[in-house]
Chains A and B, each alone.
Chain A
Amino acid sequence: MENNTLDIIVCIKQVPMVSELPWNSKTGTLKRELAQGMMDPASRLALEAGLRLQRAGQSQDRRIRVTALTMGPPMAEEVLHQAVSLGADHGILLTDRKMAGADTNLTSFILGRYIRMFKPDTGLVLCGAQTSDSETAQVGPQLACELDFPAIGWASDIRLTQNALVVTRLVDDFMETLEMDLPGLVTIDLGAFVPRYAGLAGVAQAFASPKIDVVDADDLELDRNFNALEDSPTRILDVFSPATQKESRVLKGAAKTVVDQLFADYGKIISSAMGKDLKKK
């Protein structure tokens, strides 16, 4: 942090809008080629956290710059425009065919390489705790390792003091408050905030004067033989939808008999769903 200025990088991922995706019942996979992209909900909350710090900084006369950073295909630029329309100062798209197919390990490596090379003064990195498409929760912690930053995961609130970041998070059934020196990395839990809506003036402005920089493998000085798909240590062997079976059963007889039978056969399931033991009076 220099001259009362803090540079925040928010890592954002474009994920498929699963609700609108056809499901291939034979292979059990999503037809991603038909996917409409959307900003990952947890990334959206990380951005919201950054924008709240940005606003709080204004009232404290601190200059807080928020940069949205994403890695993905060219169409991922869309989420950066959304980030700028929501209030980010600018966006960075890391895109190159050599980066395609990166697992969490190489994604963290590439994000970290960009930050080290181009944003060495970064004071805080914010990530969603886990993305809605892969749900590994690995990129945040791995990126912290890449940057040699301290990291706190699953934050529900963050607040800046003069020299540090105060982080609140829910652990089991109690709240924990931690203080972290900067630079550092925090992942934001889903449900931490209610994210703001973008104003239409913000959308128009985001496209009227684009603030998106595109960075490729050459800019990052990646090895010319670099191939994220082949170099990634993770191998996904299979993705499938767990089969569920619905079965209808009609209980017949007098009401008392039917109710007794219902609880005898399904009492445990009903108790579990209701969260209490139905045998207790």
Chain B
Amino acid sequence: MDFNPCMKHQVVRKTVREFAENEIGPHAASLDREGRFPTEIIEKMGPLNYFGLQVPPSLGGAGLDTISYAIVIEELSRVCAALGLCVSVHNSVGLYPILRFGTDEQIARFVPDMAAGKHIGAFCLTEANAGSDAGGVETTAAKTEEGYTINGTKIFVTNGGVCDVVLVFAVDAGGKEQSRPNVFIVEKTCPGFSVGEIEDLCGMRANPVSSLFFEDCRIPETNLLGKPGQGLKIGLTALDTGRIGIAAQALGIAQAAFEAALSYAKERQQFNSPLTKFQTIQNYLADMATSIESSRMLLYRAAAAKDKGGDFGAQAAMAKLSCSATARTVTDLAVQIHGGYGYSREYDVERYFREAKVTQIYEGTSEVQKMVIARHLITRPS
């Protein structure tokens, strides 16, 4: 058991950090303030393989392992969590299910452009009456002679405002398999597809999260992903993968907040001493670092488990639960260490504080992660 990162993972981290600090960092605060999706940065990231992280090189991707994937999302999110979110969702729940469950024809048709960053991917499950409860999905897909007709509204879709390809969770319209949902690949050019207004959110404001409308949206039969009735399996697999990405995102936010707090505590003088001389602040910093390191171990273990094959769902849920809780507590303490300045938009920690919360909500709330973990504990052979 070696807990030291290998040379490859160190190079991956340095490679992403250099790009993120030079090309994204100077704009992260203004993107958040303006709620602007940085198309110009996305265009730079495409040729560098950020949108095909685990796609085989033969299809134009980077062919990275899952620990590398987690490091990429962690490093992007350390600088700009909204962009880390875009890349994470695109790769994990937008693209990966097509690679995993798609036909050769679907892979050839969709993956190369998605891997090149020319087409942005999204995944939509949540509705007004469904989210954590996937069984409550009301969006329907009716089989027609030409293919399928989808009707329904999806909400809080990450990348919704800029997606070109979206995986849609829908149940059969009135059929006997109504309880067995399917996943469909919908292109933005499909008739009947439209994008709602961009949500006015607390954080992740540079990501165009929106509703998506499907009004008699017609798609060809070849856009059904996987076998009929396989939607739940595809969805759960996608979410397991997505949770590694969101855990990495949360960890990146926590790391950024910790670095900012440590730097500030070294410089800020009170009572003629830097803050780091005060034991309370030392305790805060020690708690923050310990929490980050323990969450990081869980995350990389889950990522390694995915690469080994087999069920990694519980480990991904533990990683997501832990990393998102770490992000919340660390960003909270980072604001506290900054005092009044931490509550000001002049400092980045208030942004980290706003961004951290949602990592406990999307890709399965913390409560759902505990359900997943508990189910694993209870049902596994003793």
Contacts and interface: CB of A to CB of B under 8 A. Distances in A.
* A, B co-complexed: yes
Contact of B7 (A81, A198, A201, A204): A81
A201 B46 CA distance: 11
Given A203-B62, A204-B62, A204-B63, A197 B10 contact: no
Given A203-B62, A204-B62, A197 B48 contact: yes
A200 B49 contact: yes
Contacts of A205: 57, 63
B7 A203 contact: no
Interface centre among A77, A198, A201 (most CB of B within 10 A): A201
How many A residues are at the interface, by size bracket? 10 to 19
A274 interface: no
Given A77-B7, A203-B62, A207-B8, A197 B15 contact: yes
Report the interface size class on chain B: 20 to 34
A22 to B, nearest CB: 11
Contacts of A216: none
A82 B14 contact: yes
B108 interface: no
Nearest to A196: B48
Given A77-B7, A81-B7, A199-B48, A204 B64 contact: yes
A38 B17 CA distance: 12
Contact of A200 (B7, B23, B53): B53
Given A197-B48, A208-B63, A203 B11 contact: yes
B63 A201 contact: yes
Counting chain A CB atoms within 10 Å of each CB, which of B14, B50, B53 scores highest?
A: B14
Interface in B2-29: 7-8, 10-12, 14-16, 18-19, 23
B57 A201 contact: yes
A contact patch SS? helix
A201 B49 CA distance: 6
Contact of B72 (A78, A197, A200, A207): A200
Interface string A193-232: 0000111110111111000000000000000000000000
A85 B15 contact: yes
Contacts of A207: 7-8, 11
A201 B55 CA distance: 10
A14 to B, nearest CB: 12
A78 B11 contact: yes
B196 interface: no
A81 B9 CA distance: 12
B47 interface: yes
Interface string A45-85: 00000000000000000000000000000000110011001
B63 to A, nearest CB: 5
Contacts of A198: 15, 48
Nearest to A81: B11
Query: Which of A77, A198, A200, A201: most chain B Cβ within 10 A?
Result: A200
Contacts of A81: 7-8, 11
B57 A200 contact: no
A206 to B, nearest CB: 8
A203 B18 CA distance: 14
A198 B64 CA distance: 14
B14 A38 contact: yes
A83 to B, nearest CB: 11
Interface in B172-194: none
B49 A85 contact: no
A65 B68 CA distance: 29
Contacts of A199: 47-49, 62
A30 B8 CA distance: 26
Given A197-B19, A200-B48, A200-B50, 6 more contacts: A197-B18, A197-B23, A198-B15, A198-B48, A200-B15, A203-B8
29 contacts: A77-B7, A78-B10, A81-B7, A81-B8, A82-B14, A82-B15, A85-B11, A85-B15, A197-B19, A198-B48, A199-B62, A200-B15, A200-B48, A200-B53, A200-B62, A201-B52, A201-B62, A201-B63, A203-B8, A203-B15, A204-B8, A204-B63, A204-B64, A204-B68, A205-B57, A205-B63, A207-B8, A207-B11, A208-B63
Interface of A: 38, 77-78, 81-82, 85, 197-201, 203-208
